[in-house]
């Protein structure tokens, strides 16, 4: 299909790979000509989703995290998937300040950040099977296009 692109990245659930995942997604989305702020938003959302998979999904066991990215038109579609323990109550997990790991100084704001920085957030989770965080970001919607008439 014209104007689409896809990639998949599978990596170990090590905290040292969180920045690798962020930078890889940022590099992938450059074809959409994003602003620095849009790249930063996506990197933050990826960081939060990957960190959740490592800390909550796998509880620091080393297993696979999969990121799938697709661009279609000006939209970036992003999925971060783990095959970890999953969540019983997604709605509760998505509440601001809710955390299952207060002893780790977790703020409970991961999903709130993802929601704030992306245009769409959906979390699909099955206890004992894992979690998929699906996000979308429309690139360029807040950008003013300068013409000679606007000068």
- Provide the annotated active-site residues: 48, 52, 106
CA distances to 6, 36, 51, 78, 136 from 82, rounded to whole Å, are 19, 28, 11, 14, 18
Residue linked to tokens 């300040």: 97
Nearest to 132 by CA among 91, 87, 76: 87
For 148, the 3-state DSSP assignment is helix
DSSP annotation string for 8-46: EEEEE--GGGHHHHHHHHHHHGGGG---HHHHHHHHHHH
């Amino acid at each position: 299909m014209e104007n689409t692109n896809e990639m998949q990245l599978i990596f170990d659930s090590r905290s040292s790979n969180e920045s690798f995942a962020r930078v890889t997604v940022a590099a992938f989305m450059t074809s959409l000509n994003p602003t620095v702020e849009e790249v930063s938003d996506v990197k933050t959302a990826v960081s939060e989703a990957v960190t959740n998979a490592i800390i909550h999904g796998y509880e620091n066991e080393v297993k696979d995290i999969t990121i799938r990215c697709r661009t279609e038109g000006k939209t970036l579609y992003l999925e971060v998937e783990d095959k970890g323990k999953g969540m019983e109550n997604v709605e509760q997990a998505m509440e601001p300040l809710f955390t299952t790991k207060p002893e780790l100084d977790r703020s409970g704001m991961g999903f709130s950040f993802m929601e704030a920085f992306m245009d769409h957030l959906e979390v699909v989770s099955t206890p004992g099977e894992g979690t998929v965080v699906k996000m979308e970001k429309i690139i360029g919607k807040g950008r003013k296009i300068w013409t000679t008439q606007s000068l």
